Amino acid sequence: MLSNVAAVLLDGVHPFELGVVCEVFGIDRSDDGLPVYDFAVVSAEGPTLGTHCGFTVSTPYGLDRLEEADLIAVPAGETYAEREYPPELLDALRRAVDRGARVLSVCSGVFVLAAAGLLDGRRCAVHWHHADRLARRYPRLTVEPDVLYVDEDPVITSAGTAAGIDACLHLVRKEQGPEVANKIARRMVVPPHRDGGQAQYIERPLPKAPCDTVGEVLVWMEEHLDREVTVEQLAARAHMAPRTFARRFQQETGTTPYRWILRQRVLLAQELLEGTDETVDAIAARAGFGTAAALRHQFLRALGTTPHAYRRAFRGPAAA
């Protein structure tokens, strides 16, 4: 059942993430034959709250409004990743789940759900910028850093900003069917479902960890991504036995030579798709994949999308 929805706010709420929840659940679209939700914005810290943009939000609803909600959404906030949370809010969230309600977070709102213990033993999503911090602060949860949202019913978590739209539409689709979700998406002028996850948006620079013994080999590998190389050849460049080189490489980079070079090839392909008009075949050759089919396969595995879809997302339909 999805009919009564509350968005609960703390001081410093992000207006866009709040707006996502309001847009999906807070607008009367009955003229299109769509369901009308009993929607309220609830404050966990007094009738007037500040936003990170400098203006305030006022609401007459307090935490008691959460007791009747089928869904409680927690939008992101400026300091949500570091601050403590009102115990009465955490209690209200736990009671909601115990009575069968769902909770949904947008971006850093996941920290509130984690503080309530609702993510213990569960997978969750968060903006890639917060993933490491969330995992360190709450080690009993599992962060999925590459996805747009995670549905661990009755707890749904989403990555940054617009990924909240994906999570909300997913829940509507799950509860009320694809026709309702598609009509809401059409009114919002957004895709009802996006291909890929947030992996395609994550900045992954080369590792900066000290590489005392394999550093020069890393530089050579980066400059020769189009070459096929073996561990034996790389070990010879480092003047080591292959097993010693593989062990040192793992210690200093946190991964294997194969995975390291594969990730750098995907990164190079991303840069070429975004910044050049080269064909996918040419990019596959320059990045060391050999064929467009091989590039597509590895692109899908790493980013959850295709080279053509990636180029279209970052450069527009004409470029693709």
Q: What is the CA radius of gyration of the chain?
A: 23
Cα(112)–Cα(296) distance, integer angstroms = 38
Q: pTM, whole model, 2 decimals?
A: 0.71
Query: Which CATH number is associated with domain 215-315?
Result: 1.10.10.60
Instruction: Mark residue 54 as left, alpha or beta (left: phi above 0; alpha: psi -120 to 50; beta: remaining).
Output: left
Annotated domain spans of the chain: 4-199, 215-315
Task: Per-residue pLDDT tens, the chain, 320 aa: give them.
Answer: 899 999 999 999 999 999 999 999 999 999 999 999 999 999 999 999 999 899 999 999 999 999 999 999 999 998 898 899 999 999 999 999 999 999 999 999 999 999 999 999 999 999 988 999 999 999 999 999 888 999 999 999 999 888 999 999 999 999 999 889 989 999 998 877 776 677 666 665 545 445 667 888 888 998 899 998 999 999 999 999 999 999 888 888 778 899 889 988 988 998 899 888 999 999 999 999 999 999 999 998 888 889 998 888 777 666 55
Reduce the DSSP state of residue 300 to 3 states and report it: helix
Return the bridge partners of 151, or none.
156
- CATH fold, domain 4-199, is Rossmann fold (3.40.50)
